[in-house]
């Protein structure tokens, strides 16, 4: 009796899940590949993109093996249960559970219900009108589930007297109980005739998120001033994240000269004490030789200064810069981004 032929080794056995996904994307039509990529997070897109470079010259039999595996797996899917357990299982095997769960969060029903997914179809002004009659805490929860750009547009669309309280609650938002989320979602479902979601408790927003939202809002100057009457400490913290002193590096020489004309020289001498050597050089370079020499002499004469005094002077100058930016007199750079 002749021996059975030895099983051929799997030519795709050495490939990772990301590489298999990359191969599948490369053989699909552009529109199909784009649709698949749209369901991934930026980190996952980057990982798959990097994997594409590693499989650019892969053997044809490995490509066939990946396609066979894909077809075999999809052939086993007859119907999806309401909780998406089959989708979770297959994505978990292909990509690993943590990465699979991240993708599941973005797929939507039936694999997972993303909270407030129905709001994706409502623009900022319309959404603001929709939720304006909700409690400020509820509005903050809604904003915390939106991308920063849409959250800013929605905040802009709320009544001006409501904005500071919503911003304060957004910055101090604590983990939200799932029952409270369900009640809020049900209210929005009734208004939009959309679908609900059912995720577990989550940590939302915070000062960093709120500062980014306010920074992109058109009326950020007035909003921060109004917020001072609601919560002065919180307003100061959010304001400090809008534009820091080192962000002056991103100003053009023309805009820097405008700022220098607007600030008090004595205050500048205090503020520049805590600046980097690069920023000092840029400030001196925007001045006349005589003014730069005078400022350098004043710096040398002042000697050591309290950190609190330097910080206060820098904040005052940053307020001046933000005021000039809000008025259109100069172009505010992205934090930490220099102009070329």
Domains of the chain as residue ranges with CATH: 17-67+83-107 (no CATH), 117-239 (1.10.220.30), 245-327 (1.10.220.30)
Distances (CA, A) of 13 to 177, 206, 338: 44, 44, 47
Q: What is the pLDDT along the chain (340 residues), one digit of tens a residue?
A: 455 555 567 777 888 888 888 888 777 777 777 777 776 776 777 787 777 777 767 777 888 888 878 777 665 544 444 445 555 555 555 555 555 555 555 544 444 456 776 676 677 777 888 888 888 999 999 888 888 888 888 898 898 889 999 999 999 888 877 778 878 877 877 777 643 333 333 444 566 667 767 766 777 677 777 888 888 888 777 776 667 788 888 888 898 999 999 998 888 988 888 788 888 889 999 999 898 888 888 887 877 778 888 888 888 888 888 888 878 888 776 544 433 3
With a CB cutoff of 8 Å and minimum separation 6, the contacts of 40 are 48, 103, 106
DSSP result, 129-181: HHHTTS-HHHHHHHHHTS-HHHHHHHHHHS-TTTHHHHHHHHHTPPPBPHHHH
Q: How far apart are CA 235 and CA 242, in angstroms?
A: 11
Tally: H helices and E strands in the chain? 19, 0
CB atoms under 10 Å from CB of 128, counted, come to 22
Question: pTM here?
Answer: 0.36
Q: How far apart are CA 105 and CA 91, in angstroms?
A: 12
Closest CA to 72 of 10, 138, 136, 159: 10
Half-sphere exposure of 263 (CA within 13 A, CB side): 29
Q: How far apart are CA 77 and CA 56, in angstroms?
A: 30
């Amino acid at each position: 009796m002749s021996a059975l032929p030895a099983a051929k080794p799997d030519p795709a056995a050495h490939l990772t899940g990301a590489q298999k996904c990359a191969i599948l994307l490369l053989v699909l039509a552009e529109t199909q590949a784009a649709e698949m990529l749209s369901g991934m997070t930026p980190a996952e897109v980057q990982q798959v993109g990097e994997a594409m470079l590693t499989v650019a010259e892969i053997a044809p039999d490995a490509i066939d093996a990946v396609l066979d595996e894909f077809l075999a797996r999809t052939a086993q899917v007859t119907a999806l249960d309401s909780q998406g357990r089959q989708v979770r299982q297959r994505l978990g095997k292909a990509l690993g559970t943590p990465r699979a769960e991240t993708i599941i969060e973005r797929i939507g029903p039936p694999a997972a219900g993303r909270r407030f997914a129905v709001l994706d179809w409502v623009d900022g002004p319309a959404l603001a009108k929709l939720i304006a009659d909700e409690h400020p805490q509820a509005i903050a929860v809604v904003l915390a589930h939106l991308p920063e750009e849409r959250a800013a547009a929605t905040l802009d669309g709320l009544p001006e007297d409501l904005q500071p309280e919503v911003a304060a609650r957004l910055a101090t938002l604590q983990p939200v109980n799932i029952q409270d989320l369900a009640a809020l979602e049900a209210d929005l479902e009734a208004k939009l005739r959309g679908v609900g979601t059912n995720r577990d408790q989550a940590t939302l927003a915070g000062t960093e998120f709120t500062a980014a939202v306010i920074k992109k809002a058109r009326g950020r100057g007035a909003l921060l001033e109004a917020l001072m009457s609601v919560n002065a400490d919180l307003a100061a913290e959010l304001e400090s994240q809008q534009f820091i002193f080192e962000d002056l590096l991103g100003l053009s020489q023309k805009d820097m000269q405008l700022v220098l004309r607007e600030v008090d020289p004595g205050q500048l001498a205090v503020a520049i004490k805590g600046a980097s050597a690069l920023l000092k050089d840029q400030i001196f370079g925007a001045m006349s030789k005589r003014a730069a020499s005078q400022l350098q002499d004043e710096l040398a004469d002042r000697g050591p200064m309290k950190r609190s005094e330097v910080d206060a002077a820098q904040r005052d100058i940053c307020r001046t810069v933000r005021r000039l930016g809000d008025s259109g007199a100069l172009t505010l750079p992205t934090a930490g981004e220099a102009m070329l």
